[in-house]
């Protein structure tokens, strides 16, 4: 291509035994949006790190407007007009938006920062691309979506003409993601070239002009978005056909958990407003809703980490008052927390330690931790749940997201819990791992576990749940049978449109 | 009660406050600069001791007083380089390295002192900095003697607080240093070298600590003895937190602590024999703990403080 702004040709990079990039070439035109699709470990991020000068390739080169970019020099990459928006933001929470954007853009030996000019430039860019954010706000006070806007602004401020976004939607709610893609399209119309890295089929189909599929460090396909479909892409990405499992009909058992009229306030704000739900053995109850509507509080309530203000919780036919964490564990409630890195596992501790932490009494002898029993238990989970990339003694943070989630699932499911709380269990995972997690949830359902699935993914809930309730602003809709609703009805429910009759009758 | 009022009404107290505060101001600014870049420097106590010794020794051997301060600054810089090499390049624990520097520098200063200065009944003395008495202004009651009869290093210390505040918050260099202390990965991705920022801040910060120590032997007293820093370094570390990592507030904090200290010194003479003097010695420290507890809750700690930075690792 002659009008390519970016040409990557024949790039290879090896880490030890692992060939992370194997002779990859791609080009990017002006005003074009290219998606780099692949599972975790396919080499997407390595390739982009080479482009950005974080890594030096073993062979191959990067051309910007036909000029070769010196390898391993982030400074030159920035100067050549490449901007990178990392998945984990590179921002300083204590500094203001303007300071975050300005840092490093002026000569260090200037006697005074030209903040007025910088503010003007930032505001110009903000309005031109519709990325509105207060320059004087402390970054840590902004929402995740706004922080991402700052990341993009930072790149644009450095006069980026090629913008690389690494899994930009991993941390966003659906609404924020939609908004982001609208912005990206506007930016492309303004003449910017964009590459975004993703493993989500929906969004590459929706946002990209051209899709490049990586697998195992190699480019396996390149397709214009118009000439492909999700099924083909999924197969290319994974290398075999992978279908997400769907629930089969079954008859649920007795009610395991019944919550009536429960309200919860946190710091004076009512997060749950008189909610009702009942969960039966051998069924999956889906709680659907846009993140931030009380899901976290609901999960915390049932894991025993927050107290209720009023209402009743009945567990296996017995009123329990408030649950405690210990009580929840003893009652056989397994928990898969939404935030697996902070609440689900302790990254600096070994896999086996994370596996036994909540059932320490079982793995203690004479007041000492029984290491060999703990390690054996961890090995059992690793084998049964196909946790890859670690032995029992490996530090947990070295696992990929999908494997960490399998560890957490395994830790909970290996003892056949009677109830399983799964909060956003497949969020941020690649297609293969999503299917694995879904299969485990269905297996738990077959085994008679009562599963509460909290999710904001319509497709996921419709495929797995027997019954569905929507959560909006701390209120729960009445349950509807999954085979009696469609996406439109669920969408309306998520927006708070449901039959109020039930509520009135409840109030009476 | 009257005695207390008398103390606060005496011009002597207010003149003493700035004098007592000077080493604290310098030391706190030094520690603050290090911490803004992400490095806790517990070497301060030892670096101050060494600065006090080497500055004094230089002057004792015929150097000019200002040259003595410079020598102290350079020696502080060398210890800073050591601390930076251990914590920034090697990524070792900043606590352990800092305490190591303190233990080493303290013992080493006594060793050098004993090697070069013969044991004597009364320690040898030098001619220290003399107060600059600003004509007219110094005769204003209270404020005059307090503000306008100080030695030159005191004025330098106050100016340095303003300069450091300006550099940190108004220049690109200051922003780069703060970025290194808040998120070195972000700094790196913006083309700032966080390692260089940390080295620079630790070296310059440690130089200030050396000067803080030298003030004790070249201005406040006129001789050196090994225990003379007396925990001032640790007070500086606490003052940094009290000041929320801001130079202006560090100045205020140091003055406040000096006020407590000057007050308790005078209270000792008033209540001599009634209350054991050791009780008074505790007062400023107790008050500083109380002030710290009140202030530190709202403080915004540099997010990457005490975290070693390695390229390419998250």
**How far is it, in rounded angstroms, from Cα A188 to Cα A33?**
7
- For residues A202-216, one letter each, b for 16 or more C-beta atoms within 10 angstroms of the residue's C-beta and e for the rest, the string is ebbbebbbbbbbbbe
Q: Helical H runs in A130-223? A: 144-157, 174-189, 201-207
Indicate if the pLDDT at residue A407 is higher than 80.
Answer: yes
What pLDDT score does A144 carry?
A: 82
The predicted structure's pLDDT at residue B312: 58
- For the residues A160-186, what does the mean pLDDT come to? 86
Which of A84, A100, A103 has the CB atom closest to B176's CB atom? Answer: A103
Q: Which of A495-499, B60-64, B303-307 has the lowest mean pLDDT?
A: A495-499
B104 domain residue, yes or no:
yes
pLDDT tier at A500, thresholds 50, 70, 90: low
Task: Tokens 């620079």: give the residue.
Answer: B200
In a domain, B313, yes or no: no
A247-332+417-508: CATH topology: Rossmann fold (3.40.50)
Phi (first) and psi of residue B121, to 5 degrees: -60, -50
Q: Is the pLDDT of residue A303 over 80?
A: yes
Predicted pLDDT at A90: 87
B307 contacts chain A (CB < 8 A): no
DSSP letter at B61? Answer: T
Has residue B58 been placed in a domain? yes
The answer to whether residue B225 sits within a structural domain is yes
Whether residues B182 and A95 touch (CB distance < 8 A) is answered with: yes
User: CB pairs below 8 Å between A and B: how many?
Assistant: 78
Query: In angstroms, what separates the C-alpha of A258 from chain B's closest C-alpha?
Result: 42
Residue A249: which pLDDT band, with cuts at 50, 70 and 90?
Answer: confident
Q: Which chain B residues are Cβ-neighbours of A103 within 8 angstroms?
A: 175-176, 179, 186-187, 190, 192
Residue A421 to residues A113, A177, A271, A335: CA-CA distances in angstroms?
52, 26, 18, 5
Q: Is there a domain that residue B31 lies in?
A: yes
Helix count (H) and strand count (E) of chain A?
17, 23
Strand partners, A196: A35, A165
Is the distance from CB of A53 to CB of A74 less than 8 angstroms?
Answer: yes
Per the structure block, which two tokens stand in for B57?
């020794």
CATH of A4-238, one of 3.40.50.720, 3.30.390.30, 3.40.50.300, 1.10.3720.10: 3.40.50.300
Whole-angstrom CA distances from A189 to A27, A81, A82, A220, A424 are 18, 17, 18, 28, 34
Looking at residue A341, the DSSP 8-state letter turns out to be: I
Distance CA A61, CA A341 (A): 36
Does some domain include residue B15?
no
Q: Does residue A404 register a pLDDT over 70?
A: yes
- What is the structure's pLDDT at A503? 46
Contact (CB<8Å) B189/A74: yes
CA dist B218 and A394 (Å) reads 56
Nearest-CB residue to B302 (from A54, A94, A109): A94
For B242-289, how does the pLDDT look when each residue is reduced to its tens digit (9 = 90+)? 899 999 999 999 999 999 888 888 888 887 778 887 887 887 788 778
Average pLDDT of chain A to the nearest whole number: 88
State the angle between helix axes of B152-170 and B194-215 in degrees (0 to 180), rounded to the nearest 10.
160
Q: How far is CA A460 from CA A359, A442, A457, A472, A493, in A?
A: 30, 12, 5, 18, 16
Note the pLDDT tens digit of each residue in A417-466: 999 999 989 887 877 888 889 999 999 999 999 999 999 888 899 999 99
Residue of A nearest to B191 (CA): A75
Residues from chain A that touch B302, judged by Cβ atoms under 8 A, are: 94
Name the more confident of B313 and A47: A47
CB A299 within 8 A of CB A454: yes
Confidence band of A52 (pLDDT split at 50, 70, 90): confident
Residue of chain B nearest A75, judged by CA positions: B191
Contact B175 A102 (CB under 8 A): yes
A93/B183 touch (CB, cutoff 8 Å), yes or no: yes
Tell whether B140 is covered by a domain: no
Percent of chain A beyond pLDDT 90? Answer: 48
Q: Rounded to an integer, what distance in angstroms lies between the CA atom of residue B70 and that of residue B207?
A: 9
Choice between A171 and A299, residue whose per-residue pLDDT is larger: A299
The residue length of chain A stands at 508
* CA neighbours closer than 13 Å in the CB half-sphere of residue B154: 23
Structural domain includes residue B304: no
Average pLDDT score over residue span B185-202: 92
Distance from CA of A503 to the nearest CA of B (A): 44
Domain ranges, residue B217: 23-122+147-296
Specify which residues A395 forms β-bridges with: A350
Residues of A with CB under 8 A from a CB of B: 54-55, 74-75, 78, 84, 86, 88-95, 99-100, 102-113, 154
Residue A174: CB atoms within 10 A of its CB come to 14
CA distances from A159 to A154, A184, A192, A195 (A): 9, 16, 10, 16
CB B76 within 8 A of CB B47: yes
Report yes or no: B303 at the A interface, CB cutoff 8 Å. Answer: yes
Q: How many domains does chain B have?
A: 1
Q: A252: Cβ–Cβ under 8 A, 6 or more apart, which residues? A: A280, A281, A282, A283, A466
> Residue A315 pairs with which residues in a beta bridge?
A257, A318
Predicted confidence band of residue A506 (pLDDT cuts 50, 70, 90): very low
Answer whether A4-238 and A247-332+417-508 agree in fold: yes
Per CB-CB distance under 8 Å, the chain A contacts of B300 are 94
Give the single-character DSSP code of A342.
Answer: I
Q: What is the pLDDT of residues B89-114, one digit of tens each?
A: 999 999 999 999 999 999 999 999 99
A82 is written with which tokens?
A: 């490449």
Instruction: Report the DSSP pairing between strands A310-315 and A255-266.
Output: antiparallel
Domain ranges of chain A: 4-238, 247-332+417-508, 341-414
Residue with more model confidence, A488 or A173: A488
- Supply B262's token pair: 């000057």
DSSP-assigned beta bridge partners for residue A26: A8
- Taking an 8 Å cut-off on Cβ atoms, the answer to whether B171 and A93 are in contact is no
Q: DSSP assignment, residue A138?
A: B
Are A100 and B188 inside 8 Å of each other by CB?
A: no
* Sequence-distant (≥ 6) Cβ neighbours of residue A506 within 8 angstroms: A261, A274, A276
Position A1 scores a pLDDT of: 44
How confident is the model over A109-149, as pLDDT tens digits?
999 999 999 999 999 999 988 888 999 999 988 888 889 99
Average pLDDT, chain B: 90
What are the phi and psi torsion angles at A26 (to 5°)? -155, 160
Tell me: the pLDDT tens digits for A304-359? 888 899 999 999 988 988 888 888 888 889 999 888 888 888 888 999 999 998 88
Predicted confidence (pLDDT) at residue A200 exceeds the cutoff of 70: yes
Average pLDDT rounded to a whole number, residues B71-75: 98
Q: Determine the distance in angstroms separating the CA of B197 from the nearest CA of chain A, rounded to an integer.
A: 11
Are the CB atoms for A491 and A458 separated by under 8 Å? yes
Residue A40 scores a pLDDT above 80: no
Kindly report the CATH number assigned to the domain that includes residue B172: 1.10.3470
pTM value?
0.79
pLDDT band at residue A504 under the 50/70/90 scheme: very low
């Amino acid at each position: 291509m002659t009008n390519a702004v970016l040409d990557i040709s024949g790039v290879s990079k090896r880490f030890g035994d692992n060939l992370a990039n194997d002779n990859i070439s791609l080009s990017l035109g002006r005003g074009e949006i290219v998606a780099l699709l692949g599972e975790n470990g396919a080499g997407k991020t390595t390739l982009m790190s080479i482009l950005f000068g974080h890594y030096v390739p073993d062979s191959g080169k990067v051309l910007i407007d036909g000029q070769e970019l010196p390898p391993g020099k982030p400074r030159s990459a920035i100067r050549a007009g490449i901007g990178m928006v990392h998945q984990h933001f590179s921002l300083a929470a204590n500094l203001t938006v303007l300071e975050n954007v300005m840092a490093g853009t002026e000569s260090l030996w200037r006697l005074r920062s030209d903040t007025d000019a910088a503010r003007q430039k930032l505001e110009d860019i903000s309005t031109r691309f519709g990325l509105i954010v207060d320059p004087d706000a402390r970054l840590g006070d902004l929402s995740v979506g706004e922080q991402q806007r700052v990341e993009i602004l930072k790149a644009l401020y450095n006069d980026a003409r090629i913008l690389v976004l690494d899994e930009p939607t991993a941390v966003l709610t659906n609404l924020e993601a939609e908004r982001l893609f609208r912005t990206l399209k506007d930016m492309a119309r303004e003449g910017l070239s964009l590459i975004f890295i993703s493993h989500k089929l929906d969004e590459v189909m929706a946002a990209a002009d051209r899709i490049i599929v990586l697998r195992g460090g190699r480019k396996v396909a390149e397709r214009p978005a118009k000439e492909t479909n999700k099924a083909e892409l999924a197969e290319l990405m994974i290398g075999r056909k992978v279908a997400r499992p769907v629930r089969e009909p079954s008859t649920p058992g007795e009610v395991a958990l019944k919550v009536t009229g429960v309200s919860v306030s946190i710091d004076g704000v009512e997060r749950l407003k008189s909610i009702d739900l009942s969960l039966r053995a051998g069924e999956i109850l889906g709680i659907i809703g846009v993140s931030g509507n009380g899901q976290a509080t609901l999960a915390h309530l049932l894991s025993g980490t927050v107290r209720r203000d009023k209402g009743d919780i009945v567990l296996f036919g017995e009123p329990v008052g408030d649950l405690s964490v210990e009580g929840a564990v003893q009652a056989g409630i397994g928990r898969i927390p939404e935030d697996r890195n902070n609440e689900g596992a302790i990254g600096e501790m070994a896999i086996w330690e994370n596996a036994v932490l909540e059932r320490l009494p079982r793995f203690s002898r004479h007041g000492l931790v029984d290491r060999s029993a703990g390690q054996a238990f961890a090995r059992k989970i690793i084998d049964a749940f196909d946790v890859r990339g670690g032995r029992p003694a490996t530090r947990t943070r070295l696992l990929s997201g999908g494997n960490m989630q399998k560890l957490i699932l395994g830790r909970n499911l290996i003892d056949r819990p009677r109830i399983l709380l799964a909060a956003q269990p497949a969020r941020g995972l690649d297609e293969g791992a999503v299917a694995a997690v879904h299969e485990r949830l269905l297996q738990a359902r077959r085994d008679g576990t009562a599963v509460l699935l909290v999710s904001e993914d319509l497709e996921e809930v419709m495929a797995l749940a027997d019954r569905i309730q929507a959560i909006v602003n701390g209120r729960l809709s009445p349950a509807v049978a999954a085979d009696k609703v469609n996406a439109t009805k669920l969408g309306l429910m998520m927006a708070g449109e449901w039959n109020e009759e039930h509520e009135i009758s409840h109030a009476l | 009660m009257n005695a207390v009022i008398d103390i606060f009404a005496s011009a002597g107290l207010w003149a003493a406050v700035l004098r007592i505060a000077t080493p604290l101001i310098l030391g706190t600014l030094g520690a603050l600069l290090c911490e803004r870049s992400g490095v806790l420097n517990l070497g301060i106590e030892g670096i101050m001791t060494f600065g006090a010794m080497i500055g004094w020794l230089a002057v004792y051997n015929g150097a000019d007083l200002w040259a003595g301060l410079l020598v102290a600054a350079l020696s502080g810089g060398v210890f800073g380089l050591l601390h930076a090499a251990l914590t920034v390049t090697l990524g070792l624990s900043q606590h352990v390295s800092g305490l190591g520097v303190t233990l080493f520098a303290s013992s080493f200063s006594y060793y050098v002192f004993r090697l070069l200065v013969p044991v004597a009944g009364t320690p040898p003395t030098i001619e220290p900095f003399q107060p600059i008495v600003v004509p007219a202004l110094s005769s204003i009651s209270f404020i005059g003697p307090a503000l306008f009869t100080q030695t030159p290093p005191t004025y330098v210390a106050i100016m340095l607080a303003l300069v450091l505040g300006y550099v940190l918050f108004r220049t690109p260099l200051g922003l780069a240093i703060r970025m290194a202390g808040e998120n070195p990965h972000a700094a790196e991705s913006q083309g700032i070298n966080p390692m260089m920022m940390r080295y620079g801040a630790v070296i310059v910060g440690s130089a200030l600590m050396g000067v803080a120590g030298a003030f004790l032997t070249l201005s406040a007293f006129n001789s050196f003895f090994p225990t003379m820093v007396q925990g001032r370094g640790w007070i500086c570390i606490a003052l940094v937190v009290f000041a929320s990592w801001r130079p202006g507030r560090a100045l205020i904090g140091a003055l406040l602590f000096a006020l407590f200290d000057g007050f308790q010194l005078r209270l000792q003479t008033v209540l001599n024999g009634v209350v054991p003097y050791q009780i008074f010695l505790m007062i400023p420290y107790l008050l500083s703990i109380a002030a710290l507890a009140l202030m530190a809750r709202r403080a915004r700690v540099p997010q990457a403080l005490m975290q070693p930075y390695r390229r390419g690792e998250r």
